[in-house]
Amino acid sequence: MDGLTYFPGCSLKEEAKEFEISAMAVMKALGLPLIEFERWNCCGTVFSLTEDDLMHQLATIRNLIRVQENGSEEIVTLCSMCYNTLKRSSLFVNRDKERLEKINAFMDREQAYEGKVEVRHLLEVLRDRIGWDKVEEAMTHSLEGLSVAPYYGCMLLRPREVGIDDPDNPTIMQDLIEALWATPVEFPFQTECCGSYQVVDRRELIVERTHRILSSARRSGADVVITSCPLCQYNLQKTQSELKETIPTFEEMPVIYFTQLMAVALEVDSGELPSPLLAGLAIEEGVGNGER
Amino acid sequence: MGKGNMNEQENAMIRIHVMGKTYQVPAGLTIMDAMEYSGYRFIRGAGCRSGFCGACSTIYRREEDYRLQFALACQEMAEDGMYLVQLPFTPAPRSKYNLEEIDPSENVLLQYYPEIARCVSCNTCTKACPQDIEVMDYVQAALRGDIARTAALSFDCIQCGLCTMRCPADIKHYHMAQMARRIYGRYLSPVPNHLEERLCEIEEGVYDNELGKLMAMNKEELGIAYAARIREEAK
């Protein structure tokens, strides 16, 4: 069976296991399984904005070399952050061959990178290669009645040159939600930054943003928020208990990965889902976890 | 001794540069022997002399090569024109932990060696390894919490410390990997059930009779029994 050359990234092996579990199950069900390639390393985490700082492009380019060694010309990511870093790095070296030459000369034990690997996000594959109609066809458990707010954050959309959709008015996750017969909920903070790595030493800043983003989604009628970024998911989900301590009226909101929502609709392994959401979906605990 | 022999002997001498001073040494010696021939006496930086202890880390450069090379002095042959220096010690503190009390979850290596998150995948560590270990690969495995892979990839490490001396991110690779192997051994490696069963059998005295027979044998009888032993078939 053909598959996609899959780059997991570190978070999917640690904090965001549910993302990988559900994506693996969904893509298997859709007939285009994710195949993790050998010897990947950290994506580099944050794209370096310094034009002459080639050292911080090594991690990304090395991954693209490994993909090239694999005989593949495409790499598919789930994590928005990995997607952003890999994609920008590949454009960065393709735009100026002198940079690429320098990097290749430094990595003198490896194959030279030829600049041919395309970086794609799984949402793009779903939209452009599988198609929303096929996703709808594969659905066995309709999500009718469920209101879902898509939260894009920054990394999928900005800067424009790497954005998988319109950075100001994205629809890719809305389309996915509709394909699963759920109701997409538009809300004004869907492309707002979650606060990112500020969570390390400015946690209060994240708590405040979680409040703003999730309250807005709630006011717009959402039952659940979906995302494709492990850091957004972490920030928005893990700060809710702190938020409840300071603002007792805050209503908790489940924040899950878009692949988990798909897994529920396709009745394949979704990984662990927050229990309030299970009640909202009128499904019993354990459903969707059949293949684990 | 004839003239031809003299020439051969002259040809068999090579030049090495030790910390900036040039010496003539016979060809065919290891770096360690060549340095000792030159008059150096190792107080530190020499141990097993068999490539296992990791004490004799050596850094060298060839006259015509831009790259630094790394070796164990007891294993690598001295070559003509080598610039040599020994690195008998690596200043790299080890994190303190009690193996019985740690939580073997994905983040544990990052918790005790947080600098692994500084890895930029430059691969300099791998290039420095005299054991040809994929050092960067195991640091990357550690970073994503794959303790089993870290332990497996670092298995041949002899703790020489050259990776750590070269790392631009100040990672203490070999200490971190040692911790990974310890965690793997303590918490993650498969439990050998057959071994536990056999130990129980021994304690219950199942083999006392057989062992008693062996103990009572003289050397000749033991030799016969040994020759007639049943061998486990190779798989």
Residues A132-142: pLDDT tens digits?
999 999 999 99
Domains contained in chain B, number: 3
Residues in chain A closer than 8 A to B144 (CB atoms): 8-10, 13-14, 42
Residue B5: pLDDT band (50, 70, 90) is low
Answer yes or no: is B95 within a domain. Answer: no
User: How large is the average pLDDT for residues A68-73?
Assistant: 94
For residue B13, give Cα distances in angstroms to A244, B35, B80, B81. Answer: 80, 14, 8, 11
Residues A92-137: pLDDT tens digits?
999 999 999 999 999 988 899 999 999 999 999 999 999 999 999 9
B145 and A56 in contact by Cβ < 8 A? no
What is residue B4's predicted lDDT score, i.e. its pLDDT? 46
Q: Give the number of beta-carbon pairs within 8 Å between A and B.
A: 47
Share of chain B above pLDDT 90, in %: 90
Structural domain boundaries enclosing B54:
11-86
Out of A10, A56, A108, the one facing B120 most closely (by C-beta) is: A56
The neighbouring-strand residues paired with A278 are none
> Does residue B184 share a domain with residue B202?
no
What is residue A140's predicted lDDT score, i.e. its pLDDT? 96
Distance linking the first and last C-alpha atoms of chain B: 58
Choose the final residue of a domain: B20, B54, B86: B86
Out of A40, A59, A109, the one facing B120 most closely (by C-beta) is: A59
User: How large is the average pLDDT for residues A155-179?
Assistant: 97
Task: For strands A255-257 and A224-227, give the pairing.
Answer: parallel
Q: How far apart are CA A14 and CA B97, in angstroms?
A: 22
User: Rg for chain B (alpha carbons), in Å?
Assistant: 25
What is residue B176's predicted lDDT score, i.e. its pLDDT? 98
What is residue B235's predicted lDDT score, i.e. its pLDDT? 66
Answer yes or no: is B141 within a domain. Answer: yes
> Does residue B173 share a domain with residue B114?
yes
B115 has a chain A CB within 8 A of its CB:
no
Tokens of A278: 């299970």
Out of A14, A56, A106, the one facing B144 most closely (by C-beta) is: A14
Out of A42, A58, A109, the one facing B127 most closely (by C-beta) is: A109
Q: Structure pTM?
A: 0.87
**CA nearest A59 in B: which residue?**
B121
> Does residue B171 share a domain with residue B148?
yes
Give me chain A's average pLDDT, please: 93
Domains of chain A: 4-122 (1.20.1050.140), 131-280 (3.40.50.11810)
Answer yes or no: is B117 within a domain. Answer: yes
Residues in chain B closer than 8 A to A8 (CB atoms): 144
What is residue A274's predicted lDDT score, i.e. its pLDDT? 85
> Does residue B219 share a domain with residue B153?
no
User: How large is the average pLDDT for residues A10-17?
Assistant: 94
What is residue B231's predicted lDDT score, i.e. its pLDDT? 85
Answer yes or no: is B1 within a domain. Answer: no
B126 has a chain A CB within 8 A of its CB:
yes
B123 and A62 in contact by Cβ < 8 A? yes
A109 and B168 in contact by Cβ < 8 A? no
Residues in chain A closer than 8 A to B136 (CB atoms): 41
Flag whether pLDDT at B1 surpasses 50.
no
Out of A10, A39, A62, the one facing B144 most closely (by C-beta) is: A10
A265-292 core/surface letters (b: 16 or more CB in 10 A; e: else): bbbbbbbbbbeebbebbebeeeebbeee
> Does residue B74 share a domain with residue B119?
no
Choose the final residue of a domain: B86, B121, B143: B86
What is residue B7's predicted lDDT score, i.e. its pLDDT? 53
Q: Where are the alpha helices (DSSP H) in A32-119?
A: 58-69, 80-95, 97-106
Residue B8: pLDDT band (50, 70, 90) is low
| HSE-CB for A34 with a 13 A CA cutoff | 23
For residue B59, give Cα distances in angstroms to A16, B74, B119, B212. Answer: 42, 13, 23, 57
Residues in chain A closer than 8 A to B150 (CB atoms): none
Sign of CA dihedral B27, B28, B30, B36: negative
Choose the final residue of a domain: B86, B119, B138: B86
Q: Looking at residue B77, which CATH number applies to its domain?
A: 3.10.20.30
Residue A58: pLDDT band (50, 70, 90) is very high
What is residue A288's predicted lDDT score, i.e. its pLDDT? 43
Identify from A17, A18, A20, A41 which residue to disrupt to test chain B contact, counting B C-beta atoms within 10 A and taking the largest count. Answer: A41
**CA nearest B140 in A: which residue?**
A41
Tokens 């450069």: give the residue: B61
B145 and A39 in contact by Cβ < 8 A? no
Residues B59-117: pLDDT tens digits?
999 999 999 999 999 999 999 999 999 999 999 999 999 999 999 999 999 999 999 99
Asked if residues A257 and A227 have their Cβ atoms less than 8 Å apart, the reply is: yes
Out of B107, B127, B137, the one facing A39 most closely (by C-beta) is: B137
Answer yes or no: is B100 within a domain. Answer: no
What is residue B10's predicted lDDT score, i.e. its pLDDT? 55
